[in-house]
Amino acid sequence: MQAKRWWYSFKKAICLVLAIAATSQTAWAQRTANDDFHDKLLHLGAGPLGGSFGPIGDTLCDAINKARRTTLVRCVALASAGSVFNIFAVANGSLQLGFGQEDLVAQAFRSSETKGGNALRTVAILHNSPIAIMVRKASGITELAQIRQGVVNMGNRGSGFYANATAVLKAMHLDERDLPKTTHLPPAEFERAFCEGRVDVIFDALAHPSDLYRRLRACGGEFLDIPPDIIQAMVADNPWLHPMDIAAGMYDPGQGPVKTLGMRNLLISNSLVDQEAIFRVAELINVQLKTMQRQQPYMASMTSIQKGEIDSLAAPLHAGALRALNERTP
């Protein structure tokens, strides 16, 4: 009798072990199939030192890397020349992710001159960036039409700053060659040059509020309005630009309202980057958005993509990001 009970218990134990093993094997097979994807290391093109893309890139990659044990995706944020460089690098496959101004992404996606441009894909909407033109009060420049009187920093080539400055000049029927004195300093350098009086006019486009603008105001900087006719001409030439205001008192009590225009910024990828990798990044952004916004003020105006926005994006939604959107909003 005892022998029979022992044999029954033994068989029951064996069946239990086999059942657990079978379940584990099935789960392992499913996990292996699900985790067998490429592009687990993503290089992100952020922007030049001193701009807003750098801190946003660090915040985003930190969030991705903290979750890497479950997502299996790692992220490295790289300093770059800015939007133009990032867009071309993502288009040709040198980078898996990059930040870019929406208008510049749209131009590259639709241009036959951009190699790989039609492979650009949207992953997320970042933040709004009003174009800001700041002048030194000591220069005597009080309106946009007077900028030829001073030294104008156009921004480093390959950046959105340079593209914005060129667009403003075009609307004014001017070219960089029409300006007597120009420089091409990135944000990390033009602040010092501005405060030391070596640069009188700066074109920039950062998320607000920005510590950089606060420091420039403190050393004698003043925002210039962009006149309505220039705004109208720029929007007519580039429908991805939208009129925007910099609110009065955002940087100090003496700062008045500023009339300008600007654009959204996007996180972009390439259609050839693995769908599973981008899905996990997009899903993480959806879940961590509020946390990242608390950690990084530059991301305060970042919003989740809605289904109604898909057709109006500068570049189509990446298949992985679309899957994340569909699972978030069935």
Which pLDDT does position 57 carry in this prediction?
96
**Count of all residues that appear for the chain in the document:** 330
Quick one: CA dihedral 278, 282, 283, 287, positive or negative? positive
Residue 206, amino acid:
L
258-270 vs 120-136, strand pairing mode: antiparallel
CATH topology of domain 41-128+265-328: D-Maltodextrin-Binding Protein; domain 2 (3.40.190)
Domain boundaries, the chain: 41-128+265-328, 129-261
pLDDT at 147 over 80: yes
- H/E segment holding residue 246: strand 242-246
Tokens 């972009």 map to which residue?
Answer: 268
Q: Which residues pair with 45 in a beta bridge?
A: 78, 98
**Pick the residue with more confidence: 95 or 330?**
95
Please state the rounded mean pLDDT for residues 88-110: 96
Instruction: Evaluate whether 41-128+265-328 and 129-261 have a shared fold.
Output: yes
Query: If you average pLDDT over every residue of the chain, what do you get?
Result: 89
312 contact partners, CB below 8 Å, separation of at least 6: none
Which pLDDT does position 330 carry in this prediction?
63
Please state the rounded mean pLDDT for residues 306-321: 95
Residue 55, amino acid:
P
The answer to whether 297 and 249 have CB atoms below 8 angstroms apart is no
pLDDT tens digits, 61-79: 999 999 999 999 999 999 9
Least confident of 6-20, 34-48, 257-271: 6-20
Least confident of 19-28, 170-179, 282-291: 19-28
**129-261 sits in which CATH class?**
alpha beta
